[in-house]
Amino acid sequence: MASALGLPENVRETASVIYRRALDEDLLPGRSIEGVSTASLYAAARQAGTPRSLDEIANVSRVGKDEIARTYRYVVRELSLEIQPADPESYVPRFVSDLELSEEVERRARQLLQNAKEEGVHSGKSPVGLAAAAVYAASLLTNEKVTQSEVSEVANISEVTIRNRYHELLEAEDSVHP
């Protein structure tokens, strides 16, 4: 699964450690091995700052998204894992690369996200949705045309989410830089 998601070796090792701890702490009874191993990989990717969305993880696993999310919450709680919320900026480089956009777009997208944080717009919003909208907005601002549909495909998120977050990001930008 880690290979399919393009995750580095250290994430695989961390996932193994988390899985072994879950095994040692007797967390597997009543749960599938596949579910716990997938949840461990999801947790390890987030810990390492190379997060993948639940949809991406579910696409390479034989476990459903709901079971992964449930098992992930259980494992994190029972093992007292320290996991920060995913930072939208950590998704930007991958989206920019997949869409074959320039470094200028990446810089501009990061700036939009930082302004959104200053304005508190990011709170409670999907980091993937924010990152996708920032890449879309940045591409328009730098005249590198990309469609909402293309961004939605790469980020695996709806065009409606991109549109909504896009407007919020631009409002935050106007507040910070009137």
Query: What is the CATH number for 15?
Result: 1.10.472.10
Question: Is the domain of 93 the same as that of 165?
Answer: yes
Non-local (6+) Cβ contacts of 81 within 8 A are 18, 43, 47, 75
**This prediction's pTM:** 0.76
Q: State mean pLDDT over 162-173.
A: 87
Reported confidence tier of residue 171, pLDDT bands at 50, 70, 90:
confident
Residue 1 falls inside a structural domain: no
Final residue of a domain: which of 29, 52, 79? 79
- State the sign of the Cα–Cα–Cα–Cα dihedral 24, 28, 33, 36: negative
pLDDT in tens, 65-87: 999 999 999 999 999 998 887 88
Does a structural domain hold residue 4? no
Secondary structure (H, E, C), 63-109: CCHHHHHHHHHHHHHHHCCCCCCCCHHHCHHHHHHHCCCCHHHHHHH
Tell me: do 70 and 103 sit in the same domain: no
What are the tens digits of pLDDT across the range 82-135?
888 788 888 899 899 999 999 999 999 999 898 888 888 777 788 889 999 999
Q: Please indicate, yes or no, if residue 3 is contained in any of the structural domains.
A: no
